[in-house]
Amino acid sequence: MTSFPFSIAVSEPHRRPVRIAAAGRLLIWLLCLFAADLFSSYEAPAEEASDSVRIATFNVSLNRRTAGALATDLAAGDAQAEHVAWILRTVRPDIVLLNEFDYEPDGEAIELFQTHYLQSADLPGNTEPLILPFVWSAPVNTGLPAGVDVNGDGRIQGPADCHGFGWFPGQFGMVLLSRFPPVPDEIRTFQRVLWSSMPDARRPVDPASGRFWHSENVWHSLRLSSKSHWDVPVLIGNSRLHLLASHPTPPAFDGPEDRNGCRNADEIRFWTDYLDPTRSTWIRDDSGHQGGLTDTAWFCLLGDLNADPADGASQPDAIRQLLTHPRIAEYPAPRSAGAAEAAEVQKGKNRSHRGPAACDTADFSDRSVGNLRVDYVLPCRGLQVIAAGVYWPASGHAGADKVTCSDHRLVWIDVRLPDATEDH
């Protein structure tokens, strides 16, 4: 495990936007066109509540085809990274998980992104530098050869024969940035957990033959997490807040056996077991410690989970395992005017979707998939959700030209922690 914690003694203001919610796809779209100022959450910032914390997740698509290429691009000046940083500097999270940020053991890429983009006074656009001094990252399974024929093509090579699809170890990695310090001795990673170790795992079956799709050798070699699962506690005053971070494989790029759909659902199920002391005894972290999260711990689960509650190719109960979990708080799904507008304008597959378009967080192919809600920030019960949103401005508004830096949009929530006790 490798981490890159560092701190910078800089005082910087944190500002909070005003969010005004609305319901109904057509109503939202019309208001986007004729009264869009109501939904321009970041045009009328307000000072944050002194006891609130903004937590965000953002699949930034800062992945490259070769190892080291991201650092090279960032050092040279990268327009995509500038747009990602502009969004982060506009939303101003206190904690953010970046998905699809290539992992590099020396930490050069994330340091360049911090110093040359997030903290730079020279970034194009009228945004203040954002100081998130604590950084944590670790190796992931993408691009890590499994040593077996994972995809069943008779060969043991290439990105599809890795524990997670990738062209080099660390591609599509994850990074946590935080205003609050992590607790290094309590961080847990689950990169090496085997899929076959999960009780009642959804082992893919070939529908034509009725046999298991993976050979015994592959099944007992393949890891569960396509990237990794992390439990990273941070100290907020005297409170410990566990950040539960992951990025399950997309339920696509497979066949009728639905092997990626099965894996996606089980990667999500890992968290449902981890949150239940009666079901987590099978779990062992990468240091050999057994069990899940204590039933008194405060947590926030976040990441690109690649599963929509109503649409897309994920298994029907994949994300509902979490959305209906008794330890996860119920609050209205974050919305944006830009998502509602995009579905109306792009049409295609969006026309047949059952879920509310305003809740979408990713802009996928309108012909084959359509826009979906796949990115989540899910706090535990006991944390008060004050506000929430998706950064997807309607066309013509500030930032609308920046969001195409990724096919995903940043999702944020503001929460208030109860009075802390040392047990948390």
Whether residue 379 lies inside any domain: the answer is yes
Residue 246 within a domain: yes
Q: Is residue 289 part of a domain?
A: yes
* Rounded-to-integer distance, Cα 62 and Cα 134, Å: 20
Say if 8 falls within a structural domain: no
Can you give the pLDDT at residue 26? 35
Name the domain count of the chain.
1
The encoded tokens of residue 344 equal 């109306």
Q: Is residue 424 included in any domain, yes or no?
A: no
- The whole-model pTM stands at 0.89
CATH number of the domain that 340 lies in? 3.60.10.10
Residue 1 lies in a domain: no
2 lies in a domain? no
- pLDDT computed for residue 51 by the predictor: 80
Give the pLDDT means over successive 10-residue stretches in the chain (424 positions): 35 30 34 30 38 96 98 98 98 98 96 97 92 97 97 94 98 98 97 98 97 97 98 96 98 96 98 97 98 97 98 96 97 97 97 97 96 98 97 96 98 88 44
pLDDT of residue 28: 31
Both structure tokens of 261: 């759909």
Domain that holds residue 94: 15-415
With respect to residue 6, please indicate whether it lies within any of the assigned structural domains. no
pLDDT of residue 50: 54
Q: Compute the CA torsion angle 361, 365, 366, 370 (nearest 10 deg).
A: -40
Two tokens, residue 290 = 């057994």
